[in-house]
Amino acid sequence: MKQVIQNFKTGELYIDEVPKPTLSEGMVLVETKFSLISAGTERSTVKVAQSNLLNKARQRPDLVAQVIQNFRKEGLAATLNKVRTKLDSLKALGYSTSGVVISSMDTRGAFKVGDRVACAGADYASHAEITAIPQNLIARIPDNVSFEDASFTTLGAIALQGVRQAEPRLGEKIAVIGLGLIGQITCQLLQANGCSVMGIDLDNNFVRIANEHSADSAINRGDSNLISACDNFTDGKGFDAVIITAGTLSNDPIELAGSLARKKGKVVVVGVVKTDIPRDPHYYRKELDIRMSCSYGPGRYDVEYEDGGVDYPFAYVRWTEQRNMEAFLYLLSKKSLNLQPLTSHVFDIADAEKAYDIILGKTPQPFVGILLKYAENETKHKSFVKISNKPVAAINTAFIGAGSFAQSYLIPNVKASGGSLDYVVTTRGITAKNVATKFGFNACSSEVTDILNNDQINTVFIATPHESHASLAIAALKARKNVFVEKPLAMNVVQLNEVIETKKKFSQPLLVGFNRRFAPICEQIKKEFMSADEPMVINMRINAGFIPKDNWLQQKDIGGGRIIGEMCHFIDLMQYFTNAEPEKVYADCITSSNDKITPADNISIVIKFNDGSVGNLTYLANGDKGLPKESIEVFCGGKTAVINDFKDGIIYRGGKVVKLKSNGKGHKEEVERFIQALKDGHDSPIPFRSICLTTLTTFKILDSLFTGNPQMISLDE
């Protein structure tokens, strides 16, 4: 299918063929008819991408801070890899579309094939022939509303939320500063609500349109008669509310709003403007009420609402993102709004670059709303795109999932180890195409079956969110593929048992991404204690850092939490050092009334092994970021080994100190060993039983927290 794409590194904007998106639970697949270019938002996005690296850094200081923090924790090489991966990403543009439902898995059964719908959401309602939309970001179009008008719905919902924040009443007089698309729609909504509206903008074309179609009166910001015109409009009393829909780095809209508002009036900020609130003479002396309007409305930036499909109770949250979309469409059906004057251009999707030339000023001409139109296309429903036909190696690999971790640590190392890169599959076609092009895959796809049914592919790497690991591993084993699955192997005992039963029937090697045992420094320490015929005591202190509850890793059904998703690394490393099996575990965590804290992220775990060894794992999310992340100590046979954050290490032996050099956490060596084992016809570098015991131990840790008692660990249960 065709999609408008921008390369964040080079700034190049183009239309490309990518696989159609995957449909999953809670999503609706929509064939796009029209999409609206939001000139203000998209102009800003495109300009950031087209700026040089220094200007990118100036415009995104938050990302610069993340880079600096990552450098302190992981070093220069790892940080550069992450930065390159981020810069090499492709950006999907657009967030307001209309189209027809071609398939639906929404959990409420609200949408059927053939429904005419309006869609919202950055990275969802993109300028693409087919989109996958979360069920709370889609609304049915009334029969008498055109696809063209319905494509304005997202911006209409933004404008409507700003109006709701102003709480207008019949007969009130309201000023709107900024008469772009959202400003024009805001004016019309206010008029439909029985208000008198004055529009203000720097652009004479926008002022003209507002005067003719959207407002009772409109005036240029630079007009010397502005203040007197506003005084005459309000009979000298000032505006009941001022809504700012402009987008500018200037503080002028905020200052102007304060001067125009009446005493105890409201100032509502919808657009992206500087908000240095001057105390005097207006905001303080008039006791002005300043309010921020959050995009489409309640639900925005709430992962549970937008991605999880959880709706707010109607009685308690009357207007949500989706309900604002529905209300805007209703007003269109009642002819309360007129969007025809706001549609200045319509381009075919193939000519989208011409549209962006207009909004970027490369082709100077007046514009307001620019629509992209989508025609019938036989290739739009394809799940894969062929890129090249390079010869495949004996170990011919495919990737399911290709996020930043896979791009940084797995894909390059597969290539370096002599494995060929054949297919890459992701749920979003734009990601699959980007990764395939960047790393030299033969094809990209959005459907796992394109890999499983391909007899040429003998090895599958699984790097998806955790909830799909077990099912994908099972499917790959049944398709007789060798399997590398990123940790964890499973999210619960039922999934683990299903993997075990499948592995019994199919003999293909399966490795889980427990990389630390492959780190060169760990292999040195393992050799140091090979002849020590006695139990070990192992202490691991992991200063992991805080992860908020809305992060996907913390969500029970997606990431499974940090015990399952992260602590498994260290349980595996204990097994590696002791060469023994865990048989009992006890765990306890902090207790806190602070709802932002996940108590189980701050935990002390004791594991007893069947050779008498004891492992102590202290995992912390409440420490300072300046403290090194991973500190590991191994005591045995009169010797001690220490690993300092995998940057260096020490062996204390016979009163002497032997310093060790560290070269990474084993990501490269892990992939090399796996590929070499496959070439040699050997099984996984980690015994399958050990993998299962590590996975089972994480579940028993959760059981211990729940019961308050030690838990026995046995695969014979």
Least confident of 40-49, 176-185, 223-232, 396-405: 40-49
Percent of the chain with pLDDT over 70: 93
With 80 as the cut, is the pLDDT of residue 72 above it?
A: no
pLDDT at 583: 97
**What's the distance, CA 159 to chain centroid?**
25
pLDDT at 98 over 80: yes
In Å, the largest CA–CA distance within the chain is 95
pLDDT at 58 over 60: no
Contact of 652 with 640, CB cutoff 8 Å: yes
Give the mean model confidence (pLDDT) for residues 613-622: 97
Give me the helices (H) in 568-666, please.
568-578
Domains of the chain with CATH codes: 2-152+305-373 (3.90.180.10), 156-292 (3.40.50.720), 384-464 (3.40.50.720), 516-712 (3.30.360.10)
pLDDT for residue 383: 87
Using a 10 angstrom Cβ sphere, with 0-12 exposed, 13-18 middle and 19 or more buried, the burial of residue 153 is buried
pTM: 0.86
Q: Which band of pLDDT confidence, cut at 50, 70 and 90, is reported for residue 550?
A: confident
> Quick check: helix, strand or coil at residue 60?
coil
**Checking DSSP bridges between strand 459-462 and strand 396-400, what pairing results, if any?**
parallel
With 60 as the cut, is the pLDDT of residue 124 above it? yes
pLDDT of 501-537, one tens digit each? Answer: 999 999 899 999 999 999 999 999 999 999 888 999 9
For residue 82, what pLDDT is reported? 61
| pLDDT for 353 beyond 80 | yes
Whether cis (ω within 30° of 0) applies to the bond prior to 488 is: yes
Check: CB of residue 265 under 8 Å from CB of residue 289. Answer: yes
Average pLDDT over residues 194-223: 97
pLDDT bucket at 74, cuts 50 / 70 / 90: low
What pLDDT sits at residue 712?
Answer: 97
Decide: helix, strand or coil at residue 374: coil
SS3 at position 385: strand
Task: List the end-to-end C-alpha distance of the chain, in Å, as a whole number.
Answer: 49
380 pLDDT band (50/70/90 cuts)? Answer: confident
Residues 446-464: pLDDT tens digits? 999 999 999 999 999 999 9
User: Can you tell me the mean pLDDT for 253-264?
Assistant: 97
Q: What is the pLDDT of residues 264-293, one digit of tens each?
A: 999 999 999 999 999 999 999 999 999 999
Q: Examine the pLDDT at 85 and tell me if it is beyond 70.
A: no
Residues 6+ apart with CB under 8 A from 3: 15, 16, 18, 92, 126, 127, 128, 129, 429, 430
